[in-house]
Amino acid sequence: MPVQHAPGERLALETRTIEVIPDAERHGTPRSQFTLWFGANMQITAIVDGALAVVFGADALWAIPALLIGNVLGGIVMALHSAQGPRLGVPQMISSRAQFGVHGAVLPLLLVILMYLGFAATGSVLAGQALSEMLHIDNTAIGILVFGVLTAVVAVTGYRLIHIAGRIATVVGVLGLGYLLVRVFTQYDVGAHVGIKGFETATFLLAVGLGAGWQLTFGPYVADYSRYLPRDTSTRATFWSTFAGSVIGSQWAMTLGALTAAVAGKAFLTDQVGFLGDLAGPAALAFLIYLVIVVGKLTVNCLNAYGGFMSILTTVTAFDGRSRISAVARAAYIVGFTAVSILIALAASADFLNNFKNFVLLILMVFTPWSAINLVDYYLVSRERVDIPALYDPDGRYGRWNVTALTCYVVGVAVQIPFLATKLYTGAITRRLDGADISWIVGLLVTAALYWLWVRRTADPPAETVHPAATEGTEGTEGTEGTEDTKDTDRVAAPVD
């Protein structure tokens, strides 16, 4: 029977980390994925991402559909990762051990952690500015510190509170960003600033890349937030709920950004928070817009802190053999990660943050080959059959290092270099393409094809998914409903300790 908990337990501290979520603790519906990812994308960094397409030369008339194409293509990849969560019940980067090996999965993890730190630090700066405006404090550092505390509290509390934050961000995001979109049209002559440039292939592809890259960054942790769903949850429903929430939310914010950049020019990028406050109008409305910015950034920053903690723990436990840690250690990991991101935000100059963001955008090249390998293996090679206990055992089915996957991964990263177009590096082929960046397309297709051709004849997936033995009465506070036991069609293995 489903496990029932008192209402007060709904926000109890999460105790699960990287271990398999027992069926008795599974709960929720795919609808929760829509609100989480919609709310996480209705935020100021997505607005800036859309604005960059126009700042870098695209006309908003072409930038907006290009961003949509990128969001859709990247969103498909991102949502396919999310659909793995209910079936496996493990964090996203734990599942990648099935392709790379228990130790081999650490290679992309190290760069994932760096990405989380970068986005958490830059997001803290923007949210800190908004908090300072709300509190009428001249020192942005105070706002950054306050925001850091809020992030740590929500992330430590865990899965349920993060989803609640997503639902709140969905409501305030629709109201706030909807209002700002109306203000753009009422305060500016949008028609006079849109459609004044012709179509340019390079800037169009750049906007496509900005949209796709935005979605691909969610890949390494998206299943972390669907792994509590009951195992019999429809894969299709999980996919579409995640896809719709992420794509609609990001496209809404990016459209606002593209139009804002078109009418305001680079003035918007010099003070994004202040500009949106001024756009809101009277002080009371500006206060509410600052609140919208803080809520949106809090949601996504909690994803960064939670995902960063899970990635660090996945890296550490790959070598010490653990599959779970104490609640105190869990809280310490999250607080430590948040503290480091806040220190970066406080100590860094504006130039450093810009350079750091450029570096983060550069290392996005590591996620497309990782996604290609994970998705090809899970859906086409293993056909959704995974030996879950072996994900925690270096001597198990997946071993310590998978040379095939690691080689394909390195090739997938290297093949993108000539196609890159960033401030840090511009590839030779990119120059011949007038600056058009198609590196992520090349990395995705080449890696997928190479891995598929190499591994399809040698792969040895289990005949059916192997689940840990059902554990009744295990510690944990996350479930209110779920399935009673493992399905009859699943082979049961020994418990994972």
pLDDT in tens, 72-88: 999 999 999 999 999 99
**Range 149-170 average pLDDT:** 93
Q: Output the pLDDT for position 169.
A: 95
Q: Which amino acid is at 381?
A: V
* pLDDT(326) > 70: yes
Q: What is the pLDDT of residue 297?
A: 94
Tokens of 464: 């059916």
436: alpha, beta or left? (left if phi > 0; alpha if psi -120 to 50): beta
pLDDT at 353: 55
The percent of residues in the chain predicted with pLDDT above 90, rounded, is 62
Tokens standing for 440? 């992520």
Mean pLDDT over residues 112-121, rounded?
87
Helix (H, G, I), strand (E, B) or coil at 242: helix
pLDDT band at 241 (very low <50, low <70, confident <90, very high): very high
Q: How confident is the model at residue 234 (pLDDT cuts 50, 70, 90)?
A: very high
Mean pLDDT of the chain: 87
Longest dimension (CA), the chain: 67
What's the pLDDT score for residue 497?
31
* Mean pLDDT, rounded, for 253-273: 89
CA distances from 115 to 127, 217, 223, 314 (A): 18, 9, 17, 16
Is residue 477 over pLDDT 70?
Answer: no
Amino acid in the structure at residue 294: V
pLDDT score recorded for residue 323: 74
Per-residue pLDDT reduced to its tens digit, 397-452? 999 999 999 999 999 999 999 988 777 677 888 888 777 778 889 999 999 999 99
Residues 437 and 208: their CA atoms lie apart, in Å, by: 9
Residue 487's pLDDT is 38
Is residue 491 over pLDDT 60? no
pLDDT at position 17 is 86
Over residues 270-294, mean pLDDT: 92
Q: Which residues contact residue 63 at a Cβ distance below 8 angstroms, ignoring those fewer than 6 apart?
A: 50, 53, 54, 203, 204, 207, 258
Statement: residue 468 has pLDDT above 90: no
**Strand pairing class (466-468; 491-493):** parallel
- State the residue for tokens 């998914």: 465
Q: In this predicted model, what pLDDT tens digit does every residue of 283-319 receive, in sequence order?
A: 999 999 999 999 999 999 999 999 999 999 999 998 8
Q: Encode pLDDT of 194-222 as tens digits.
A: 999 889 888 899 899 889 989 998 988 99
Distance of CA 312 to the CA centre of its chain: 16
Binned at pLDDT 50, 70 and 90, residue 350 comes out as low
Q: pLDDT at residue 8 above 50? A: no
Q: For residue 410, what are its two tokens?
A: 């390195």
